[in-house]
Chain A
């Protein structure tokens, strides 16, 4: 073969390397900018959120112990206790996942493994559309429809509600809202399970159902749990729709599903008037607590994930 070496131009080689350097720099810049934003936001929230508890705070420090362990939140009398709100938030989000997680995983299995191809394509599109609906729309739906279901359910169980606004309504609302995220991720994860594993299981005399539960789901668990974490993030972080049906109780915690509740996000949103003073600044303190709750639960989920599907022997 003839050498093509004489065709290679020096100038092109230099240009090529120049572009390479340029794009590397661009990637660094993009990474740097996003890191700066994240750091700025965290610094801002932490500074604002810690402020009210410092002696230098105008109007005197709010006692941090009272904030962290308080079981009352009264804007009108400037009592800010966050402990019961943390509990409420965790209960309502876990309640949502309890409803939504199994339904999501089973729906994903249905779409990927059981439904005929045409139906599964339609359902995938529907799930994706659901994920794109703005939260306020879900909120309006919940305030008009879900609260009525809850109200009649409560009546049957012999409870009365505040027009259906309740912990249960929040959990149902959040369950609907996190369903598309979790289902989409579960679908992707299940589709990524190698066909060879499914065949291997069937060749050992397992039924399709046994194969789906023992091999497909355990192989897809990373993706399924990624969906769970994203779903939980949405459940914890959703404010608008939740505020519309939570009822915003001033004391708690709320364990009765038919009682009104208050979540960290609805607390940050509700009754916001002026963007200065203790009533505004303390919302950042609530934000710090919210981020901490999300962080801790995510770690918890990772821990659970590592244990699931490990040796049964």
Chain B
């Protein structure tokens, strides 16, 4: 099953051609990793999937982006609904300056859900899935900014999970974290994959190799190749992929 099907995708920031003729399928309940050197377009591509690039003036997109068979850039497509189904975790943990509870409940509240029991259950359930519940269950009303960096990032994952999305996009989610916190997030991704489709941008090739089922290699706005992670890392089709993976450039 394909969650996303992308065909002939081109994206420009003003005159800058950031993504060139991308074709890609993203399979459900798998972890797809996007790798490549800085500025290659992998984060831009990730942000195509929940239309976060809409926020940047002068962005132009052509081609097809189908989510469950529906074109997300069609005029009748609703970006708010899309984002409740395609959640996102950012590079730097970005909890809101409010309580732990309110952070997790935020997504539901902005969809108009006020029922206390539903909120309570969802908050607990999401924090458990994000492997954070045991650490914060006694401090739900504390300000989220008092948590450690790793806890904040897991809170952001819980916040995304609370809306029961189908997909979770992760934009270098561990780049601001120490190795122990990184390990916890990686473990978490392994368990989340049962319920969610995950797409992750990472600068760490070890991370991509450890956690992903599929790997896509981007270079200068082109998708060089995408395939099962094992194949991409062990016998890449393209010389450039091999050079990057073996550290000959980057």
Contacts and interface: CB of A to CB of B under 8 A. Distances in A.
Nearest to B105: A313
A310 B99 CA distance: 7
Chain A contact-residue range equals 20 to 34
Given A207-B80, A311-B102, A200 B110 contact: no
Given A200-B156, A204-B87, A311-B141, A218 B110 contact: no
Contacts of B233: none
Given A197-B94, A219-B97, A202 B83 contact: yes
A30 to B, nearest CB: 35
Contact of A196 (B80, B83, B94, B159): B94
B102 A196 contact: no
A119 B233 CA distance: 52
A203 B106 contact: no
B98 A204 contact: no
Contacts of B87: 203-204
A204 B159 contact: yes
Interface string B71-92: 0000000001111100110101
B236 interface: no
A288 interface: no
Contacts of B97: 197, 218-219, 309
Chain B contact-residue range equals 20 to 34
B140 interface: yes
A204 B102 contact: no
A312 interface: yes
A205 B141 contact: no
B52 interface: yes
B196 to A, nearest CB: 15
Contacts of B101: 311, 313
Of the listed residues A203, A210, A218, the one surrounded by the most CB atoms of chain B closer than 10 A to its CB is A203
Given A194-B94, A199-B90, A202-B83, A214 B106 contact: yes
B160 interface: yes
B94 A205 contact: no
A311 B101 CA distance: 8
A309 B98 contact: yes
Interface string A277-313: 0000000000000000000000000000000011111
B92 to A, nearest CB: 6
Given A218-B97, A219-B96, A202 B140 contact: no
A204 B163 contact: yes
Interface string A96-134: 000000000000000000000000000000000000000
5 contacts: A200-B94, A203-B52, A205-B163, A311-B98, A313-B119
Interface of A: 194, 196-197, 199-207, 210, 214-215, 218-219, 309-313
